[in-house]
Amino acid sequence: MPSRRSALTLFAGAGAALALGAPAAHARPVPARPFGRHGSPSRRLDALTLYVDPHGRGDFTDVGSALAAATGTGRTLVIAPGTYRGKLSVPADRTGLTLLGASGDPRDTVIVHGDAAGTPKPDGSGTLGTSGSASVTVQAADFTARDVTFANDWLRSDNPEYTGTQAVAIKVQGDRSAFYGCHFLGHQDTLYADTLALTAFARQYYRDCYMEGDVDFVFGRATAVYDRCHFRTLTRTDLAAAPYGFVFAPSTAGANPHGYLVQRSRVTSTAPDAYYKLARPWVPSSDLTAHPMLTVRDSHLGAGIDAVTPYGTMSAGFPWQDQRFAEYRNTGPGARITVPDNRPQLSRSEARVHTPADYLGDWCPRG
């Protein structure tokens, strides 16, 4: 089985494979129309649109340079197929920014870097930490991404001496952030769905997205809706026994009535049956009043999820039973209710207030 790094570089310059175990394939030719139906520098959609192409047919050859030029509000970056390596940051003043994968297939447009929490800082003052490991950090409100892959290809096997193995593909903090048809690839802490401050309740929406990893690979304190998404848990060669990890680790603020909502989605696995837990609560030292919240409804949970004990506890004193975890009308072997006390279920009336509209309030993302 190829490593994530080999999979991502397979189509370097012309796209990338979907996931860790993606089969080998022939490199695709450089497209004649790198921006597809989205115009070009000579046929620009509007004055706010910039074009990125690694072969020099756009305004820029890398995403970082395009971001630096995309000042103001409401800019769009149309990104041609390619593998773009390097850390990126979308600061708060880039309100309304859109990243658009030009081909419509997220496997073709990949933004990737390879830092971990334990990676030394360049100035020698310590290590990067979890947030510092992120390949992409988004602080701007009203951020949208379509058909883009965000990845972190740092591997434990390459760095056995590291204790800080968190490696974030993207950290999203802005309010009203939306992702459509995007892929998020990593191992530990792949997607950090978070907020700008302890007092902020950022809202995020993910639709038709693919996320993969092993330990807490969807985590943070945002109010986030995952609609028709696919979560994939990975095999680990460094562990001989279960559990390999957890899909979700919400850290919802105690004052926030809405945490993570997963609906019409599925969880699959490359690992043996029952080697993964569905979730565990994260109560960080920065906010001991956090009251993590996760609702999984109308979704298919595959055999990789431990149906008997699907939840775990991260920190002593904050057991999962005291948190806001619930399920409703799920199917699949990982959703079987064998020990009712371990599978808190919503009633039909309770489920009526666990919808995207309830969680997102006056924001209605347009797919």
Lookup result for tokens 């006056």: 362
- Whether the pLDDT of residue 12 is over 60: the answer is no
Contact call for residues 169 and 191 (beta carbons, < 8 A): yes
From CA 186, how far away is CA 276, in angstroms rounded? Answer: 16
**Mean pLDDT computed over every residue of the chain:** 93
* Those residues with Cβ within 8 angstroms of residue 318's Cβ, 6 or more apart along the chain or in another chain: 281, 283
% of the chain exceeding 90 in pLDDT: 91
pTM attached to this predicted model: 0.94
Question: Residue 13 has what pLDDT?
Answer: 34
Nearest to 92 by CA among 197, 211, 246, 233: 197
Tell me, yes or no, if 216 is annotated catalytic. yes
- Whether the pLDDT of residue 3 is over 80: the answer is no
Give 259-316 pLDDT, tens digit per residue: 999 999 999 999 999 999 999 999 999 999 999 999 999 999 999 999 999 999 999 9
**∠ CA(251), CA(202), CA(232), 5° rounding?**
55
Extract the tokens encoding 118.
Answer: 């334990």
* Those residues with Cβ within 8 angstroms of residue 338's Cβ, 6 or more apart along the chain or in another chain: 307, 308
Tell me, yes or no, if 189 is annotated catalytic. yes
- Whether the pLDDT of residue 328 is over 60: the answer is yes
Question: Residue 71 has what pLDDT?
Answer: 96
- Whether the pLDDT of residue 131 is over 70: the answer is yes
Q: What is the DSSP string of 266-326?
A: EEEESSPTT-EEEE-----TT-TT---EEEEES-EE-TTB-SSS-B--SSTT--GGGSEEE
- Whether the pLDDT of residue 367 is over 90: the answer is no
Question: Residue 207 has what pLDDT?
Answer: 98
Give 68-100 pLDDT, tens digit per residue: 999 999 999 999 999 999 999 999 999 999 999
Catalytic residue among 189, 194, 214, 306: 189
Catalytic residue among 59, 216, 227, 306: 216
Nearest to 115 by CA among 100, 102, 134: 134
Eight-state DSSP code of residue 73: S
